Structure formats: C-alpha cells, structure tokens
Structure 1
Amino acid sequence: MSEKVLMLGNEAFARGAYEAGCKVSAAYPGTPSTEISENIVKYDEIYSEWSPNEKVALEVAIGASIVGVRALASMKHVGLNVAADPLFTASYIGVNGGLVIIVADDPGLYSSQNEQDTRAVARAAKIPVLEPSDSAEAKEFVKFAFDLSEKYDTPVIIRSTTRLSHSQGLVELQDRINIEDKPYVRDISKNVMMPGNAKGRHLVVESRELALIKDSCDFPVNIVEYNDTKIGVITSGIPYQYVKEALPEASVLKLGIVNPLPRKLIEEFASKVDTLYIVEELDPIIEEQVKSWGIKAIGKDILTVQGEYSANLLRRAIKGENISLLPAAEIPNRPPILCPGCPHRSVYSVLKKLKTHGAGDIGCYTLGAVAPLSVVDTTICMGASISSLHGIEKAKGKEYIKNWVAVIGDSTFLHTGINSLINMVYNKSTGTVMILDNSTTGMTGHQDHAATGRTLKGEATYSVDLKELCKAVGVPHVYVVNAFDIENLEKTVKEAVALDEVAVIIAQAPCALLDKSPITKQYVIDQEYCKKCGMCMKAGCPAITKSDKGEISINDTMCNGCGLCYSVCKFNAIKSVKLR
C-alpha cells in the first residue's frame, strides 16, 4: 500500500520532479516558488542549484534537456520576465529530454510588485500550460508535463499560484521512474536558432500548437463534471476549489491544460449548459478565447481581474447572495517592518539623516520606503536601482545626483545589478551604489548565492568577492564598511556622493535572523537621563516603544544588542547591559 502524506504544493512539485525521473533542477529563489528547490535538494538523484538569476536557471535546464535528460526550472512570475529571452527561443528549439518550467503567480500581491498572469506570456511563446488545483495534482501534473514535453517536443509550463504553492494537501507517494537518457544527436537545424533555421522551426511550433489543440481534448488532466446543467462553469487551478464550495450543484469543466485550450471539449461542454460562467483569477485568458469562438459566457463582467478569488466572492457575484460575516474581533494592523537588529535600518538611518534619496530594489531593504525611515524613492524590479540611478544622472546631471544613492542587496546585485554597474562605468556615469551585504537572500528565507560560499546542497564553494568584482568592472572607488558603524558609514557616504565618478559602498553585517552568534549585551533606557527627544525611535526599531505617558523603553525580548539606538542618543540615556 502506497504512503499518503500532507504536502505543500511546492513540496508536491518537488516530489513530482523526483518521481518523473528529473535529473537537473535550477532556480533563483522567489516567493511563492522558493520551496520547490528547497525540497528538490532533498533528493540526491537530482542535481539542484541556485542560479544567479532565472534566465541562467532556464538556460541550465535547456542545456540539460538538449543532451537528453529531464530538467526543471522554477521561478516566480516576475522571474519569468527575466527568463523570457531563452523561453521564447526554447519554444522553437523544443526538447530532447523533457523540459518543465514551474512558474508561481501571485494573485493578491502577497510578495510581488505586480499581478502578472503567466498564461499570457505562455500564449505569446506558444508553450503549453498546465494548471493543477491541489497538491495531489501538483505532483501528478509534473509527471504528465515531462511526458507531454517529450511527446510534443516542447517545453511545458506548470502554472502555480501563492495559494497552491503554500497550501497543504494529501499526496500519494510513488516510486521514482528511471528514465534512460535520450541520446544526444547533433542537430544544427533544430538547436541553433539563427534566422534560416528559426523560420523552419516556427512552422514546427505552429503545427505543434494545432496538434495540442486537437489532442488536449482527451488529456486526462481535464475533468468534466455534469450535475445541474442550468449552470456550467469553466475553471482551472485553485479557483476550481472555490467553484466546488460555492456552486456544488453546478456542472464544471475543470481544465488541466489552459494553453492551448481544448476547443472541441469546451464547445461540447458549453452546448450542454444553459448559462456558462468562466472563473479564472487575474486576466480573462480563457474567457476571451471562448467568446471569440461565438460562445456566450459570463466572466470578468461580474468578476474582478484583481487579486485572489474566494467562495464568498463567487456566491456574491454568481448567486447574488448577501454574505454576512460574523463580527470578528478587531485585529491591529501589523505593517511590514525591518527586524530588530537589521543592518539595513542602520544604513537607512544614516541616509535619512543626510536627507538622501534612495533608488531602491527588490528585497527586505525595500521596506526603507515606509515610515519612519522613508528613504527609498523608487522600486521597479531586480537590479533596477543601479540602472535607474544612472538614468537619473544622465537626465539631470552630476550635481543633481549628489544626494541620491542606489541601494541593492548582495543577492540582487549578483542577479542583475552587476550588469547595471558595468553600464554606469562604461557610460562614464556619476553616482553612488550601496550594496547592502547581509550575506544571504534574506527576503525569500535565507537562501545562499554565489557570494556566500555555500551551494544549494550546503556544500562549500568559491565565494565571489564583491569588492574585487566591483573593482574588476572598473569602479574606481570601492569602500567596505560595517553597517553598524554609523559614524564611519556617514563619513563614507558623504565622501562617495561628492565624487564625480562611480563609487560603491559595501555595507556589511549579517542578517539579524541569520546571525547565530550569542547576544552578549542588550540596551536599556535610563529614565533619569532620558529627555524623551525621540531620536532613538526615528529608526523605527520595533524593540523600542513609547507609552501613553511618553516614556520610552526597550523590550528586552526583542533587543539583540545591535547598538543603533545607543549610537544616536546624545544624552547617555541608553546603557548597555552585559548578558554573559
């Protein structure tokens, strides 16, 4: 009897790759996809790595596929943008060993800068997309995707969402299939995408698309449930769960493949129901195609294109029910904030004091945009802090840039920041770049990268020296400072921004959650000396609070002894206390 266990969707994806005989996995961490690789690494049969970015990760998987092994690349939706260049060409090349790309979208913007719909990208690239609705399907769809990839000579995308990736479901474990490596045969016309060859491969892609439209009507991942035919619903993925809860009496066509659409199956289902609804999160990808075939359907005219759906949302929109919720206790808002002892807070405190604008990037340090720090002016995408700072300088001149800096994390710098820094040097820019080096990929849960000295498997490896890397690309002024030495940090920032050349400041201190060294001292406030000036609160440390009576205190359960508050107090009211 096979074992059944509860698994997160991401854990089930990893298990599916293992059972499918996958041999190579590459990814860059990005919520909500991160845990896929963190679970794949548990299977020694699969080589797994953190790549510097998603483009590299996909190219690694493509290379493995070309020489005949099953390969996987995992990323979040905005990571697919980074990987778009190889993705579109991989569609033309096709595969040798199966090639699967798991992409986790983020409806509701839990940890992303936009609500991109991966299905739209896949349609443009003409790559089939599967969309599971629970953890059990997550595992099985990976196995089906590898088979589909090899049968139709195509990469296959599996679309997840935050709700699926981070929800648990019961999964039946099965043995790993031992897949023989496909022989590699040199084929220039298939694998070298120069114009002459690409023209021929484009015809192959179009033929493949037509075959998939026809054949997908019989794919087992599509499920038709006929009940009351007064209402029919076409849906896929997690929204299927909401449909079953809100409309248990309805007939449902649950699509497992959402690109290309199985047209005949949809037309047959639509012909058997009186009123057809299409329930899909984010963009009307299915709806627009179905309506273009002359089929009447109700979708985004009553349902939103924003955020996650819910059973109650469907009850209100489709059934017209006035859902009354039981009164709940008011819960105070918990806005995102940097952790106690975070080195980024120290850096931003200095920048705020100097009234410096920050061109921001993607990471924990994006929180420098919110009060009370309010230093970060812009956040666009990974690596954009440096290139946007360059654009600001070229638009407004060298003097204008004297009170701006770019802030970027060490992992993000290696992801796409290094290219932007090269561009600043090459194009004779002026500007200061601050690499906030906490020796980890902090925002997604402390994953390693090329400058930490550890691989995904925890093996020791060469560690990129950020200082030497910056010097090697031509940066004339590179400073390395302790992020908590605010006196030296302030001096260095003043010196760097005054230059008429590119300067890089590497502010080093470990992530407070990652630093396992014992806390040897904390800080307390001596009320006799405290003037209640509030200087210690300006950095926004959550360990420091002010009572209704105006008394400021430090919570000893949260203080980790970073000393930032101590360094800004001018009245010696903050004292250090040794713990051991």
Structure 2
Amino acid sequence: MMRELLSGNEAIARGAWEAGVRLASGYPGTPSTEIMETAAGYKADLYCEWAPNEKVALETAVGAALAGVRSMVTMKHVGLNVAADPLMTLSYIGVKGGLVLCVADDPGMHSSQTEQDTRHYARLAKIPILEPANADEARRFMIRAFELSEQFGCPVILRSTTSVSHSRSLVEVGERRPTPTADFVRNPSQYVPIPIWGRVLRQAVETRLAEQAAAASADRELNVIDRRGEALGILSSGLTALHCRELFPEASLLKLGWAWPFPDELIREFAAGVKRLIVIEEADPFLEEHVKSLGIACDGKNLVPRTGELTPVRLLAVKAALEGTDLQPPAPVAAAADLPGRPPILCAGCPHRGIFYALTKFDVIVTGDIGCYSLGVFPPLNRTDVILCMGGGFSMAQGFDKAGEKRPVVGIVGDSTFFHSGVTGLLNIVYNRGKATLIVVDNSTTAMTGHQDHPGTGRTLMGEATPAASIEKIAAACGVKRITVVNPYELDRVTEVLKTELAAPEVSLIISRAPCLLKIRRKIGPLYSIDQAKCRNCKACLKLGCPALESAGGNKPAISPQSCTGCGMCRQLCRFGAIQPES
C-alpha cells in the first residue's frame, strides 16, 4: 500500500471512498467540515451534497442505503441533535447498504457551544460506535464501519474529536472497492415501523445488540490489549489512549476502538490481569460507569477531569494524582509570554458590524444564533443577549414577545442558518401572530465553517450551478408582509429601518445583505486614513470595534492600511471630517 500524509477528516473521506460509498451528505460544522469537502474531490465515483440541515442529510443517506448502496453522513456533535429523530427510527428499520454517520465531537469546546458526548447517542439508538485515534485508524475504521453496518443491518457512528479530525499523520491508502447499483426491494414489515411491525423490530434490536457485544469482545483489530505491567491497567479510547500509552509506559492498556456495545468479556479479561484499573476518557464517565456496573473496581472521574480536552499536560496531572505525587508542569514557552491577546472579534469591514452598531442605538433584547455574528456579544458592540442553537434566534424572540417582555425583541440568524432551521421559527411567529423584529444577516455563504455553499448561494458542493433560494420570497410565502433589504454599510439607513420596524405592530423581517469579505477576497472601497490635525480624539469611530482602527493609551485613533477594507463605516461616524479616503 502507498502512504499519504492526511488529516483525520481527509482520511475519513478517503476511507469512505475506498469503502465504495456512492452518496455522502452533511451540514458544515467544525471540526467535521473538511470530510465533505475532501469527499467532493472524488466526484467521479462519489456524489456529495450539502444538505440544509443534519436531519435532511441523514434522511437522504437513508434513502440511498435502503436502495442498497453505501452512504455517509457528516456533522459535528450538536448536529446529531438535529438528526436524532430519524436516527432513532433507523435503528429499528435498519439498512441494506452500509450507512455511517461521521460525528465530530469537540472536547474543550474549541469551536462549539457544548462538550456533548456522542457516545450517549449510540447507546440511546442502540447502534455501534467506533472511535479512531489518528488519521490512519480513521481510514481503516471507516471501512470496517461499513462492513459492520451491513453485517448487522444497522447504521454505525464513527466518532472523531477535534484533535483527531485536524491532526495529520501518515495513512496507508488503498483502492476503491466494487460498488453495487441501487435496487430497492420492497419489504413493508421491515421498513414501515407501524406498531404491529415495530414491536417485532424492537425485539430484533436487542438480539442484534447481544450479537454485537459478543463480536466486540472477540474483535482484536478494533479493541486492542497491550499487556505490560500488572500493577496498573488503563482502559481508554481514541487519541486519549495514545497519550496514555506514552505517559504510562509501564501500564497495561486496553484501547477500545469499538466502544459500544460494551465488550464485557474483553473488559473482564483485561481487568482480571491487573491489580489496579483506571478508566481514562474524555467527557462523561461513559465507560467508567459501565465497568463499575460489572462489579469491577476502578478509578475514573475521581482522578480524571470531566470537562475539557485530555491533553498530555492534563494527563500528567492524572498520573501525579494516581501516584500521590506533586505535579511539576512544563515551563511555559518563553516566546508566548509577550504576545498580545487576541480577543475574538468581527473581521475588519465585516458587514455584520453595521447591524450590531445600529442596534446599540436602541434598548432592545437581541436573541442571537450560531455563526460569525455571535461575536456581536463582545465589546464595544455588546449587542447579543442570548444564544441557544441554530434557528433559536428566531424562535426565542417569539418566546420573549409572548411572555410579555416590555422591550422590543430582535431575533437574528445568518443566511445559512435561515435555511437550516430559521424558516420554521419564522413560520411559527407569523402563524401565532408574533411581532418580533427579525434580521437575517446574509453574507452569501456559510462563513464561520469556511465558506461552504447553501441553498441560497446558487451553487452545489459539486460545483454545479443551481437555483438560488430567495429569503424574501420564502418569508413572503410564510406570510411576512414587512420585508426590507438593507446594505449594512449604510449606517444611517440601517438605523432608520430599525427604528421603523421596531415600532411596527406585526412581525417584520430585515435582510442585511453584503458579501463576506473573506469569501470575495477583495477590498470594497478606497482605503481610509485619519487626519490627525482634524481628529478631536472623541473616539466615536472606536465604538465600531473594527480591528483596523488602532488606539493606544491617550493617543488619537489611526487606521491600519494593512487591515482597512474600505467599508467606510468609520467615516460615517466622524463628525469632524477627519476620516477621508486616501488618494
């Protein structure tokens, strides 16, 4: 076999291609996004699409799997919440062609709102879950996941984490396997889970679980015992297990790649060969609680942190606690001590800044959403009060309004989020006669995850032109009568529209439309500079929070020519004419 240097996400896509996958669908979300982007590169053999949300992605893949071909779905951990509805029923009806859900968890919340542990969903849905520890395992485990899916006739979850998805290692690569053609065979008693048939399917799930547990205990490719000393045994999985192997060289290690159903006989066998057992796992005590339920004594979350990523430094603290010694942490990198802080902030010239700045002029409640625009919560804008989940920006606004909140309520979502789950919230507000002011900040891309297309961009993941869905027409079809499109760089106009719509006695929709500058990769106007002689140092321009504006101590503001994008918003705020375009 040849070897290539791949990230975990690239290796997952490669494994899917080698396994003979015919269809892949997903919704972008860090740390999973690059799986689909890589898979789209195999377009001669593999059809790929961005779905409006994770539920639709899974349902699409189910159609392909029932037709008899292998399919893949990708999402981040919180995306599985959206896809949970079809997943639970799919566990009953099963699949014909293999179906694998690639779910990327985010211990440490590097780019997520929770540390949700996907292993619980595998237990809830009663389906297998595999956990690769590096890119090479990611490729191999993907191929094995499809084999298990077809062997047991059910979906399989492949659980990655941020570190596995984004780290790179050498990967042995192979050739693509032969793929069957779609040929659906009708079988209503299997695929239509009405109660009379569903009760039978439910019993079959339990039989399947018992078979899978036995198979997991016998599997020494996915579940590996590395016998060393008898004094200490470590039960772990994923990248954490590799860290444990390095930091506890004297200990025996059971590394679980097939984490659920639990391989009870294998766990008992391993525990019997060591004097002390510790379960080292990220997130929840998923394995630990089960080990204790088997009557096996073990350490776990009494020594291992329950939150955050288990980096080698944190595992050194676990080792010190286990040995009863004091930890001497590694000295910090000297060069990092003098680096300035980099608080999260909207990019220079970001069109979202105009909307949030205009909102500072009003005493309103702002229900925000998941995307770049969540950065509107930070100073000096301070214009987001609550964030829940994708689409919640609209739905929560209705709740505030109907609860009798005295202040006007503004709900904000992005364009990709609007198509993901904002439409239903909008429809709910209209249907139930709400009067919130709703804003779609439309920058014509799924920006925060790396500029992926969506139903409103007019282009598919495969690079094909397609009809672009209209936010205005969808809103009108939902029954919204007050629809206004604004250019967010025109601050006076935005403020005027907000003033009018906040006073409206019915629901209104404002579409703030301007492209993401990181996507179009060009300046949108002339560079600006500040005439220091005219500047009164009132610092009004700094209220924009634009990173191109610089001011240290009592010095007058200045504009960085390297950062300025020519948006001109700062010029609109200067009452003294000090900010002018450069010739």
Match of 1:191 in 2: 191
With the length of structure 2 as denominator, give the TM-score of the two structures: 0.97
Counterpart of 2:283 in structure 1: which amino acid?
L
Shift of the 261–182 alpha-carbon distance from structure 1 to 2, 3 Å rule, reads farther
Tell me by how many angstroms 1:407 deviates.
1.0
Query: How far did 1:327 drift?
Result: 4.2
CA contact (8 A) 2:22 2:179 kept: no
Match of 2:379 in 1: 371
Q: Distance in 2 between matches of 1:338 and 1:519?
A: 16
Q: Say if 2:21 is the partner of 1:13.
A: no
Q: CA deviation at 1:518?
A: 4.9
1:349 to 335, 354, 357: 357
> 2:97 aligned with 1:89, yes or no?
no
| Deviation (angstroms), 1:55 | 0.3
- Overall identity of the aligned pairs, in %: 46
Determine the structure 2 residue equivalent to 1:31.
30
Q: Which residue of 1 aligns with 2:443?
A: 438
Deviation at 1:121, TM superposition (A): 1.4
| Deviations 1:510-553 (CA, angstroms, capped at 9, x unpaired) | 01111234555111000111111111000100010113342210
Change beyond 3 A, Cα 1:434–1:123 = same
CA deviation after TM superposition for structure 1 residue 426, in Å: 0.3
Asked if structure 1 preserves the Cα contact closer than 8 Å seen for 2:363 and 2:407, the reply is no
The structure 1 residue matched to 2:519, chosen from 493, 514, 522, is 514
* Cα distance in 2 between the residues matched to 1:299 and 1:445: 37
Q: Which amino acid aligns with 2:229?
A: D
Residues 1:182 and 1:485: Cα distance change in structure 2 (over 3 Å): closer
Contact map agreement 1:100 1:146 (CA 8 A) in 2:
yes
Shift of the alpha carbon at 1:122?
A: 1.2
Q: Distance in 1 between matches of 2:137 and 2:361?
A: 53
The 3-state SS of whatever aligns with 1:42 is helix
Aligned-residue offset at 1:353? 2.1
Matches within 5 A, 1:397-436: 400-402=406-408, 404-436=409-441
Which amino acid counterpart does residue 482 of structure 2 have in structure 1? H
| Residue among 380, 388, 398 paired with 2:388 | 380
Residue of structure 1 in register with 2:2 after alignment: 3
User: Could you report, residue by residue, the CA deviation over 1:236-263 in whole angstroms, capped at 9, with x for unpaired residues?
Assistant: 0010121012101211111111111110
Range that drifts further, 545-554 or 258-267 = 545-554
Task: Quote the offset at 1:328 in angstroms.
Answer: 3.1
* Helix, strand or coil at the partner of 2:499: helix
Q: How far does the alpha carbon of each residue in 1:439-481 deviate from its partner, in whole angstroms, 9 at most, with x for none? A: 0001000000000001001111000011111111100100011
Aligned to 1:324: 329
> Which residue number corresponds to residue 205 of structure 1?
205
* Equivalent residue, structure 2, for 1:309: 310
- Alignment check: 8 A CA contact 1:410 1:438 kept: yes
Verify the 8 A CA contact 2:236 2:279 in the aligned structure 1: yes
Which residue in 2 is equivalent to 1:498?
Answer: 503
Q: How does 1:411-490 map to 2 (within 5 A)?
A: 411-490=416-495
Residue range with higher mean Cα deviation, 351-360 or 379-388:
351-360
Output aligned runs, 1:99-138, within 5 Å.
99-138=99-138
User: CA offsets per residue over residues 284-326 of structure 1, 9 Å max, x none?
Assistant: 1111001001001111011111010022322222244512322
Distance 1:314 1:321 in 2: 13
Report the equivalent of 2:231: 230
User: Is this contact kept in 2: 1:483–1:507, CA < 8 A?
Assistant: yes
Q: How many residues align?
A: 574
Cα pair 2:524 2:567 within 8 Å, conserved: no
Q: Distance in 1 between matches of 2:214 and 2:206?
A: 13
- The residue type equivalent to 2:49 in the other structure is E
Q: Normalising by the residue count of structure 1, what TM-score does the alignment of the two structures yield?
A: 0.97
**Could you say if the C-alpha distance between residues 170 and 321 of structure 1 is closer, same or farther in structure 2, counting changes exceeding 3 Å?**
farther
Q: Which residue of 2 aligns with 1:393?
A: 401
Matched, 1:300 2:308: no
Contact preservation (8 Å) 2:364, 2:407? no
User: How far apart in 2 are the matches of 1:512 and 1:421?
Assistant: 28
1:567 partner letter: Q
For 1:218, the equivalent position in structure 2 comes to 218
Q: Deviations over 1:147-190 (max 9, x none)?
A: 00000011000100001001001101100001223642101111
For 1:533 and 1:291, the matched residues in 2 are separated by 65
Residue 175 of structure 1 aligns to a residue in which SS? coil
| Alpha carbons of structure 1 residues 401 and 462: separation in structure 2 relative to 1, 3 Å | farther
Residues 97 and 181, structure 1, Cα contact 8 Å, conserved in 2: no
2:80 is aligned to 80
- Cα distance change of structure 1 residues 182 and 492 upon mapping to structure 2, 3 Å threshold: closer
Equivalent position of 2:345 in the other structure: 337
Q: Distance in 2 between matches of 1:555 and 1:443?
A: 24
The residue type equivalent to 1:21 in the other structure is G
> Conserved in 2, the CA contact under 8 Å of 1:315 and 1:321?
no
CA distance in 2 between counterparts of 1:358 and 1:136 reads 45
Amino acid at match of 1:33: S
**Is there any run of 5+ residues in structure 1 with no aligned partner, and where?**
none
CA distance in 2, matches of 1:51, 1:361: 19
Query: Residue in 1 aligned with 2:175?
Result: 175
